[in-house]
Structure 1
Amino acid sequence: MTTTRTLVVVSHHRPDSRTAHVAELVAERLRAAEHEIDVLDLRSEGFDPRMTLEDEPDWTDRDKAYSVQVQQHMERILAADLLVVVFPIYWQSTPALLKGWIDRVWNYGFAYGRSDPRLAGKRVLWVGLAGATAEDPIVAPMADLLEAQLSEGIAYYCGFAKSAVAVLPDAEDQPQSVDELGNLVVGEAPAGEELASQHRAFDRRVLAAVDEFAA
């Protein structure tokens, strides 16, 4: 039996965030399923999302040698069969940290720009945590937008065999909604066993999304 090599990428500025917890949960789940796991925490590894001259694509040279840091990240992607990217959803998109990682690492000559894509055959699951409640009408169009951005605009363009976005609403303890006047309404967070039950239910949804994709 061939071992699946999985790169779990986490993008959040706080190590104690729900995003970091979800990434750890995903890694544990796939490790239990005998995946070989590499966890890439962009914050703790000090990744700079800002584009540099060293990593700017050269359209005349698809074999350009990029910075040492970027090349190390490229090698970790190449070593993986499956990527699971975990991030909070900001403005119906990714955080700047994750977007900058894609800009600098998924670069010309590596992720795209070849008739025989180097990332062909790989799979990627994008796990986005949303503060909106499941009943919020924004959730469905948010999922459609992220699917278009990440699966169609990036993964397909880079030759991935399969890409999907799992949008997980209710990622905040306090329910959030927008009223008819456009005001953000933040409700009271539950406490005690009710809060613990809410967390367990959220974790189950995470694992269900991962299990379905990785099967």
Structure 2
Amino acid sequence: MSHTTPDDATTTRTALVVVAHPRRDSLTAHIAELAAQRLTAAGYRIDLLDLHAENFDPRMNAADLPEWGNREKTYSPEVENHMRRILAADVIVAVFPVYWVQVPAILKGWIDRVWNYGFAYGRSKPRLAGKRMLWLGLAGAADDDGVVDIMQQSLGMQLNDGIAYYCGLAESSVGLLPGAEEKRQRVDADGNLLLDEALTGSIRDAHYAALEDRAQRFVDDFLARDRVPA
């Protein structure tokens, strides 16, 4: 995936695609690529933010601690650069594996350090107002495992309500993609982790084709909600 430069930067909208996985050959990276293709086809310029590839440090440090009496604080150069990329984006799409019914530490750290006081919150007029965000989370749980509903509700509360609403975004939605592992996971009534048989052959191909289709439909639905009737 690469950055694309529009002929007219004043009229082309920008999509910031944030990837939170250490392997570039991962299913997460593949889904991010499909999302970027959909966004490009819809006329967006893509700014790819691969947190691991860019060696983003998710740990909070003294330079990036908020100062409650100074919402105009200048943060570290790394964080200020990320802030500029967010401000330049019309939409943000984060693609990540679901760990412990949460986003990975590197994505949480990106929110902690970059979506900081005076930038993402702490103003009567939010600086991120009008921006829209889609969170695409890949989960190993089997599609029919009851934990999927719990994941959807938990991620919705954390990401849509706890972050996006608090920061004044115009819209935020979570697209959960269960069944991301070749041995899908499920938990029985006693709390034991069970693994399905590994998917192989045409069954595996069909399974991942369906997962890709669901991911693309999440993006298409997200884009459709932004269309203004003629």
User: Normalising to structure 1: TM-score of the pair?
Assistant: 0.97
Aligned to 1:96: 105
Say how many residue pairs are matched.
215
Aligned to 1:147: 156
User: Normalising to structure 2: TM-score of the pair?
Assistant: 0.91
Q: Give, in angstroms, the shift of residue 175 of structure 1.
A: 1.7
Whether 1:129 aligns to 2:149 is: no
Query: Which secondary structure does the structure 2 equivalent of 1:125 belong to?
Result: strand
Aligned to 1:64: 73
2:218 paired residue among 204, 209, 212: 209
Q: How does 1:71-90 map to 2 (within 5 A)?
A: 71-90=80-99
Aligned to 2:188: 179
Moved more, 159-168 or 183-192: 183-192
Deviations 1:129-170 (A, max 9, x none): 111111111111211111111111110110100011111111
Return 5+ residue gaps in structure 1 as ranges: none
**d(CA) in 2 for partners of 1:14, 1:107:** 27
2:22 paired residue among 13, 26, 39: 13
Aligned to 1:23: 32
**d(CA) in 2 for partners of 1:125, 1:25:** 14
Deviations 1:50-72 (A, max 9, x none): 00100000001101110001000
Return 5+ residue gaps in structure 2 as ranges: 1-9, 225-230
Q: CA RMSD in A?
A: 1.2
Q: Give, in angstroms, the shift of residue 116 of structure 1.
A: 1.1
Whether 1:162 aligns to 2:171 is: yes
Equivalent residue letter for 1:133: A
Q: Give, in angstroms, the shift of residue 193 of structure 1.
A: 2.2
Aligned to 1:37: 46
**d(CA) in 2 for partners of 1:168, 1:64:** 38
**d(CA) in 2 for partners of 1:178, 1:43:** 30
**d(CA) in 2 for partners of 1:143, 1:194:** 26
Q: Give, in angstroms, the shift of residue 182 of structure 1.
A: 1.4
**Deviation beyond 4 Å, 4+ runs, structure 1:** none
**d(CA) in 2 for partners of 1:2, 1:184:** 51
**d(CA) in 1 for partners of 2:214, 2:101:** 20
**d(CA) in 2 for partners of 1:72, 1:95:** 21
Identity %: 57
